[in-house]
Amino acid sequence: MTSDLPDSLILETALSVAGLTDYICFLLEQDEELRRVWVTGEVSSANHHRSGLFFTLQDPDGGAAIKCIVWNSQLAKLAQIPVPGEQLIVLGSIRIYRDRGEYQLSVWQALPAGVGLQALRYQQLRKRLEAEGLFDSQRKRSLPRHPQTIAVVTSPTAAAWGDIQKTLKQRYPGLHVLFSPATVQGEQAPESIFHAIQRVEQDGRAEVLILSRGGGAVEELACFNDERVVRAVACCSIPVITGIGHQRDESLVDLVADASVHTPTAAAELVVPAVAELYTQHQQRVVALHQSVHDSLETSHNQLEQMRNRLRRIRLDRQVQQEMQELSWKRQQLVRATTTKLQHATQHVEMLRQKLATLDPKAVLQRGYAVVRQQNGAIARSAAELTVGEELLVQLGQGEVKVKVTEVGE
C-alpha cells in the first residue's frame, strides 16, 4: 500500500527521532501528575553506578515494570535503600532518556510498603521518644512490694482479664482490684486506653497499674505503639506493668513501662507475691533465726568452757603472792620518798626560823639597844626631829622609861 501524499510533503511533515523524543519528553515531563508521582512495586533488580543507583520496580505479578534512578546526591536521603525482592513505595518524577528513547522514574524518596511502612513509622517514633529519654532506666520506678489496691486496664471480654483475676486471687487473696475497661484492638483502642488510664489516676486509690492484652498479630497490637498510649503510660503517676502479647512481640509501651512481661498472667505474678511463698519464706527465716541463736549460744558456751579451763591451769595463790610482793615494794618506795621529802621540809623550816630570829626587834634590844618613840608613837630617828621639853618613851630590852628632852645637840 502506498501513500497518496506526495513525497515532498511527507518529507516536510516527518519528524526526526530527536524531534519525536523531544515531543514525547515535553508531553510527559510537563504533565502535573507525572512530575510528582507515588509508585508502589517490588524491586526486581538493582545496580550501583558511579552516578547513582539504578533499579527496576515491577508489579508483584510481573505484568509491568519501570526503570528507576536515584542519583548519588539523593541516595543518602532515602528512608529505605532499594534491595531486590523488597516491596517499596517510591516518590519521583517521569524523565525521558533521549539516547535510548526510554522513560524512567527519577526517585526522590523510597519507603517500605505495607508492613515495612509500619515498621518505618515504628522506628521513627521509637527514636524520637528515645531521644526524649522516655525509655531511660533512671525513669523507671520500683514496684510496691505488697500493694493492697491494683488497677487493671484491659478489655472486659478478653481472656487476659480472667487470667489476671484468677492469678491475683490465687496468689494474694483479699486484694482490692480496680478494673478500668478499654478497647485494646482497632482504631478506637488508643483513645480508649488513654481514657482508661486517666480514670485510674483520677480515682487515686490504686498503687500500681497493669496494662494487659493477650497475644495477637502485629496489626492487632498496633495500639500499644501509639504515641498517645505511650505518653499516657510515661506520665502515669503510679508504676505501670505491661503484659502484652507473646515473647516475640515488643511494643513501645513495654519500653516506657516501669516493668514489662510477656503475658497477662506473668504481670499478675509480678505485681504481688504469692501468700504461700511468703509463708514458706517466713518459715525459712524462723528456722534460720533459731539456728543462728542456737549457734550463738553454743559458741558462748564453748568460750566459757575455754575460760574455765584456762583458770584451772593458772595457780591463783602464786598470782596473789606476786601481787602482795609488788604492793610491799611499792609501799617501801612510798615511805622512802615521803621520809626524804619530810627531812628536806624540816631543814627548810629550821633555816627560816633562824633567819626570822635574827630579824626579831626584841633580840636586838636584848643586846643593849633601845627604841626611842615620840608621844605620837613614831620612832625618833634624828635629833633634829626632837624639841626641848618633849617627852619621849624609851623601850629597853626589859621594860620602858619616860624621859624629857633638856637639850638637843647637832
Higher pLDDT, 219 or 57: 57
Q: What is the pLDDT of residues 387-402, one digit of tens each?
A: 777 887 877 767 788 8
Does residue 109 sit in the same domain as residue 150? Answer: no
Asked if residue 291 has pLDDT above 50, the reply is yes
Over range 335-340, report the average pLDDT: 90
Task: Show which of 67, 90, 113 is a domain's final residue.
Answer: 113
Does residue 67 sit in the same domain as residue 154? Answer: no
327 located within any domain = no
372 strand-pairing partners: 394
Higher pLDDT, 331 or 6: 331
Does residue 103 sit in the same domain as residue 207? Answer: no
Does residue 28 sit in the same domain as residue 102? Answer: yes
Over range 376-389, report the average pLDDT: 77
Does residue 241 sit in the same domain as residue 152? Answer: yes
313 located within any domain = no
Does residue 82 sit in the same domain as residue 165? Answer: no
Q: Which SS3 state, helix, strand or coil, does residue 46 take?
A: strand
Does residue 246 sit in the same domain as residue 166? Answer: yes
Does residue 200 sit in the same domain as residue 89? Answer: no
Over range 36-54, report the average pLDDT: 89
The pLDDT assigned to 261 comes to 92
User: Do residues 171 and 273 lie in contact, with contact meaning Cβ atoms separated by under 8 Å?
Assistant: yes
The pLDDT assigned to 159 comes to 87
Spatial distance between the Cα atoms of 320 and 3, rounded to a whole number of angstroms? 153
Report the CATH number that the domain containing residue 93 is assigned in CATH. Answer: 2.40.50.140
288 located within any domain = no
Spatial distance between the Cα atoms of 133 and 305, rounded to a whole number of angstroms? 65
Burial of 153 per CB tally in 10 Å (0-12, 13-18, 19+): buried
This prediction's pTM: 0.49
316 located within any domain = no
Asked if residue 8 has pLDDT above 60, the reply is no
Report the CATH number that the domain containing residue 219 is assigned in CATH. Answer: 3.40.50.10550
Does residue 263 sit in the same domain as residue 167? Answer: yes
240 located within any domain = yes
Asked if residue 107 has pLDDT above 90, the reply is yes
86 located within any domain = yes
Number of separate domains in the chain: 3
Picking from 148, 129, 147, the residue whose alpha carbon sits closest to that of residue 139 is 129
pLDDT band at 13 (very low <50, low <70, confident <90, very high): low
Picking from 20, 13, 67, the residue whose alpha carbon sits closest to that of residue 41 is 67
Weakest-pLDDT range from 171-175, 260-264, 292-296, 358-362: 358-362
The pLDDT assigned to 1 comes to 46
User: Do residues 271 and 241 lie in contact, with contact meaning Cβ atoms separated by under 8 Å?
Assistant: yes
257 located within any domain = yes
Does residue 152 sit in the same domain as residue 268? Answer: yes
314 located within any domain = no
**Structural domain for 63, as ranges:** 7-113
Spatial distance between the Cα atoms of 328 and 96, rounded to a whole number of angstroms? 128
The pLDDT assigned to 62 comes to 62
Reading the block at residue 164, the C-alpha cell is 489476671
Task: Show which of 113, 137, 172 is a domain's final residue.
Answer: 113
Asked if residue 116 has pLDDT above 70, the reply is no
Task: Show which of 273, 303, 318 is a domain's final residue.
Answer: 273
Does residue 156 sit in the same domain as residue 265? Answer: yes
Q: What is the pLDDT of residues 307-336, one digit of tens each?
A: 888 777 766 677 778 888 889 999 999 999
Does residue 87 sit in the same domain as residue 173? Answer: no
